[in-house]
Amino acid sequence: MDSLDKSAILQALYRKLIDGSHILHYHNVLDAYGHLSFRHPFKADIFVMSHNISPATISSSNHLVEYRVKDSEPVNPSATTGYVERMIHSEIYKRHPDIHAVVHSHSEAVVPYTISTVPLKACYHMAPFLGTTGAPVFDVAEHLRADDIPNMLIKTQHLGAALAQRFDKGNVVTLMRGHGFTAVAHSIESVVLRAVYTQKNAAIQTTALLLQATHLDVVRGATTEHSGLKYLSDEEAEAATDATNWSVQRPWRLWVREVQACPLYCNSA
């Protein structure tokens, strides 16, 4: 592959990263905070994300920065200041060579499942990747060292490394106590889909729990099996995951058109 082909592929990924950031904002998965990244297609030890900027306002490749996977430092030392939580991305890429895209979100629909005993599980066919036992919850307090500031942020390599372990054994979404969630995938399109539908699944599950609680007239202190909801089975989740994997381009193309039609967003990459 010659340099022109590589340049074109990289430029297309820049555009996808910007579109993906806009899509995540459009769907309220990201607000002024949160971020999306991808692993460099020709340099596995490099990943790309924007500098410290609100996702909706990323508009050109000039806003994007290459970082080293080994220490999350910019390849160009004079690069504009980056996100303080980029260690989330670097440590995941370091531990999992098969992961090529990462989203970190503070979704308010998901946060309740990070602080309660109710697991976030696949309850409809568009979020089968959440699994049938519940997305794991990462508690940063369990990994703090004496010199860490307990501000709930992943600002060090050791905290990022602890979070990255939660993506072992094929897990693709990890909840973060009192913080949000992180999703991973093999492509930008797939990780955006997983982030969007993780939030939708949380909203649907919460609504169903409230409906079921009202129906059962659950009183304070009563115990039920998460109010008797019928979640996806293992077989259903596996089959539905295959379906979402091959159909990812359908929502992606729609979402790109949506953000292109919205004057808030600009993508000149």
To which residue do tokens 């889909």 refer?
A: 193
Say if strands 173-176 and 180-185 run parallel, antiparallel, or are unpaired. antiparallel
Are 89 and 105 a contacting pair, CB within 8 Å? Answer: no
Q: Which two tokens stand for residue 93?
A: 């890429």
Residues with Cβ within 8 Å of residue 18, at least 6 apart in sequence = 58, 59, 60, 63, 64, 267, 269
Whether 85 is a known active-site residue: answer yes
Residues in the chain: 269
- Residue 168, exposed/middle/buried by CB under 10 A (0-12, 13-18, 19+)? exposed
For 116-187, where are the alpha helices, taking DSSP H only?
157-164
The single residue of 66, 85, 91, 142 carrying the catalytic annotation is 85
CA-CA-CA-CA dihedral for 55, 37, 125, 173, to nearest 10: -110
CA distance 203 to 59: 30
Sign of CA dihedral 81, 109, 98, 100: negative
Catalytic residues: 85
